[in-house]
Chain A
């Protein structure tokens, strides 16, 4: 199953869980799976059309999905998907 790593600012929607596993075959399917099981997360990271909001950066492995096929980027069972948050503390 593909693994998606949840950044600290979003863990309040995943009961503190740092990672989530899904059988989804694309980034969009994995994110949809995550959102379906995390109350309140969807409205934070998805826009009205169900697409990822522009301030949410998603990587598959070490590559930004915007340099791949965006949300249609396919993921295999060993894929590690990262949601990279903008954080500003110093």
Chain B
């Protein structure tokens, strides 16, 4: 038995992993490589759940988990690591408990913190493989850059609605050639308004299960050297049509980290880097202020039977989830429906959280000179939280 790969497997571990060990090209060497590997999983949400469960079950010896969030009711539709009693607990704490119960032979290290440019290199340095299951562009670029700067493979996956992507970035092959990274594929982030996150845009719950298990498989391939890792290739899945594609990803000579003339030698401010607006778009902080009413003021007006108009500028499918009995005029139709919006009394406009309704008010004021429009601060979410807790939220 070779002793090249650190600590040997115990009798109990050989029994546990026997279905791996009897695969000829995997065998006991592959299992020992897993046992001696250290994998850092960024995010323990939709992707992180299946990823962590399978890496734990497979016997990856040391698994680090970075997440600053707590378990929320709306996570349980897809984040299969967690159960109802976990709601409100720190994710890393609940995850560790579940994973350690699944496999007591491995070591789980938790980081109950937000990954940032100050702590990333320090956290990453002790790991062999990074697995990116975060949910936002700034952290995607941060994880990529830290992986490239430290020379570690970054097993990437991301999801949106029915769409999933998987790739292995910054992978060094057997000939010592380093493959492309995230910045070769996407040199710059898209404007925020074009690509909403899952909290705003939604995701089908099964999708992270499908994509996260593929990500786990790539992590295992990178560690063991079995098979061909998805380096230099991007896998795409549209779960709605079941269309799958594999596209080539090439290194870009203009990559600021490791192109022909690297200009970036450290981590940067990723929130600022990803604060991209479409040309002509105005930053939230620079937009014209609108008049506001609080949900408590709205409640008083309702109780007094005051003469005011309540307008809801969300979409029909959102109105069907929860509504305050306002008139439904979706934002994109609001300027065409101006004749339905009173000018001679107070008009309170709301949406889910207050952003779209503020946009509606700015458009109506600019085009038609309204001065009687008030934004409901915090929208229907604030109303459900502070006034009528029986209302559902989304």
Q: Report yes or no: B248 in contact with A87, Cβ–Cβ below 8 A.
A: no
Give the residues in chain B near A9, CB-CB below 8 Å. 160, 194-196, 201
Q: Report yes or no: A18 in contact with B194, Cβ–Cβ below 8 A.
A: no
Give the residues in chain B near A64, CB-CB below 8 Å. 247-250
Q: Report yes or no: B201 in contact with A89, Cβ–Cβ below 8 A.
A: yes
Tell me the complex Cα distance, A9–B162, Å.
10
Chain B min CB distance to A43 (Å)? 7
Tell me the complex Cα distance, A88–B161, Å.
11
Q: Is B203 an interface residue (CB 8 A)?
A: yes
Tell me the complex Cα distance, A84–B237, Å.
11
Tell me the complex Cα distance, A82–B160, Å.
17
Q: Report yes or no: B197 in contact with A88, Cβ–Cβ below 8 A.
A: yes
Contact residue among B234, B247, B279 (Cβ-Cβ distance under 8 Å from A48): B279
Band of interface residues on B:
35 or more
Q: Is A63 an interface residue (CB 8 A)?
A: yes
A46-61 residues with Cβ-Cβ distance < 8 A to B are 47-48, 54-55, 57, 59
Contact residue among B43, B194, B247 (Cβ-Cβ distance under 8 Å from A84): B247
Number of contacts between A and B (CB, 8 Å)?
A: 98
Give the residues in chain B near A23, CB-CB below 8 Å. none
Q: Report yes or no: B236 in contact with A84, Cβ–Cβ below 8 A.
A: yes
Per-residue CB proximity of B148-186 to A under 8 Å, as 1/0?
Answer: 000000000111111101000000000000000000011
Tell me the complex Cα distance, A32–B195, Å.
22
Known contacts A88-B134, A89-B203; is A55 also within 8 Å of B189 by CB? yes
Q: Is B354 an interface residue (CB 8 A)?
A: no
Q: Is B198 an interface residue (CB 8 A)?
A: yes
Give the residues in chain B near A62, CB-CB below 8 Å. 245-248
Contact residue among A48, A82, A89 (Cβ-Cβ distance under 8 Å from B197): A89
Q: Report yes or no: B248 in contact with A88, Cβ–Cβ below 8 A.
A: no
Chain B min CB distance to A8 (Å)? 4
Known contacts A44-B194, A54-B188; is A90 also within 8 Å of B247 by CB? no
Chain B min CB distance to A9 (Å)? 5
Per-residue CB proximity of A33-75 to B under 8 Å, as 1/0?
Answer: 0000000000110011000001101010011100100000000
Per-residue CB proximity of B278-292 to A under 8 Å, as 1/0?
Answer: 110000000000000
State the 7 A-B residue pairs at the shortest beta-carbon distance, nearest first.
A87-B160, A89-B198, A90-B135, A55-B190, A90-B133, A8-B163, A89-B159
